[in-house]
Amino acid sequence: MAEKTLNVFEIVQGQIKEACDILGMEPAVYEILKQPQRFMEVAIPVNMDDGSVKVFPGFRSQHNDAIGPTKGGLRFHPDVYADEVKALSMWMTFKCACIGLPYGGGKGAIKVDPRQLSKGELERLSRGWIREMAQIIGPEKDIPAPDVYTNAQIMAWMVDEFAKIRQYNAFGLMTGKPIIIGGSLGRNTATARGCVFTIREAAKKLGIDLSKATVAIQGYGNAGSFAAELISAYGSKVVAVNDTKGGAYNPDGIDPVAIAKYKEKTRSVVGFPGTKNITSDELLTLDVDILIPAAFENQITSANAARVKAKIIGEAANGPTTPEADAVLYKNGLLVLPDILASAGGVTVSYYEWVQNNYGYYWSEEEVNSRLEASMVKAFEAIYDMHKQKNVPMRQAAYMVAIKRVYEAMKVRGWLD
């Protein structure tokens, strides 16, 4: 039977429903959690360099603020759509709850290909999004951060525009900022570092020696490239990486730093000396110990799941595995470290950045990394215990841990009375 095509919004709704049912939650819990509390869509006019005006659709989804202000990235992408933004905000709620952060989930986007814009056009677009969203975001309401095709410079423009509107600096508005205006040390590597910490803990449980492990990484952007460096530091051998243009494979190992420099020059990992070209499907199904999907949603599907051989799959990307594929991986005995756990390092250090902004004292990179390690290990243990106790996949266990925490906040606040 062919896999049903689901958009990511339907996928996350199914994940929530499944966890609520296993936990025996009252129906109202799912009814509250199955959709965002708020969703805003705006039209952003931008004066282009050629004198024309273009209007770009912008979005912000705020899923649930029972535990605290909503938190989540802001992506610029030509193919982004409303349901994707909603789903990503929902994943963020559970990602924050998994780690125990005092946040709910948010997500934002602008439908644009930023690579087609000049620096001036990009700045005007970024400031335009803030002007349209200023009423619903803020350090105590909703805190955006970089995501796909956004970066620290874009966050800086947005913080500045917000300051003009409010007439005071509010550096806690955004995380992932430049260090000079309140950014946190350690933020750039946090998603990858958190993912590698969870892989390390999973390897201990399965008796895998990381110093002898082989690794394939799908997606060689920020998270993928840093994950390659960090896991190599444990002695693991990265044998395959890819990007949107193709992949590179060498069974004897690839130098993560050298191929990152090569990609910076050529804009792709394809053709890196000493490697052979490899497709994304071939990479996902290599006979390796560890697979790190660090690209986009819906990469491991019913079409390739049965051929995935990695013993541990550490999801550095959001939603890389479909529900049908999840069932196959679990049946085949593969340990999936779900995105809401494995990719939570970024939002964890974003929380640290927000905390530092709020009290005006900044930590060393060593302190940030140490706190991150403690948070990720604690979260992994709680979810692994639930996985073993209830005999459910790690993803279900993660949702169960997270939903219990959100439920407790909603209950004590009187949302369910």
Which positions are catalytic? Answer: 107
Name the helix (H) or strand (E) containing 191. helix 190-206
Full DSSP string of 85-120: HHHHHHHHHHHHHHHT-S-EEEEEEEES-GGGS-HH
Which of 242, 190, 200, 213 is closest to 337 using CA atoms?
Answer: 200
Q: How far apart are CA 291 and CA 203, in angstroms?
A: 12
Scored b (16 or more CB within 10 A) or e, 196-227 reads: bbbbbbbbeeeebebeebbbbbbbbbbbbbbb
Full DSSP string of 228-265: HHHHHTTT-EEEEEEETTEEEE-TT---HHHHHHHHHH
Q: How far apart are CA 157 and CA 125, in angstroms?
A: 10
CA 392 to chain centre: 23
Instruction: Find the angle CA(313)-CA(86)-CA(337) to the nearest 5 degrees.
Output: 15
In eight-state DSSP terms, residue 35 is S
Give the number of residues written for the chain.
417
Name the token pair of 322. 């479909």
Sign of the CA dihedral with 211 first, then 291, 72, and 159 last: positive
SS (H, E, C) 313-378: EECCCCCCECHHHHHHHHHCCCEEECHHHHCCHHHHHHHHHHHHHHHCCCCCHHHHHHHHHHHHHH
Torsion of CA 247, 250, 253, 255, to 10 degrees: -50
Contact 66, 104 (CB under 8 A): yes
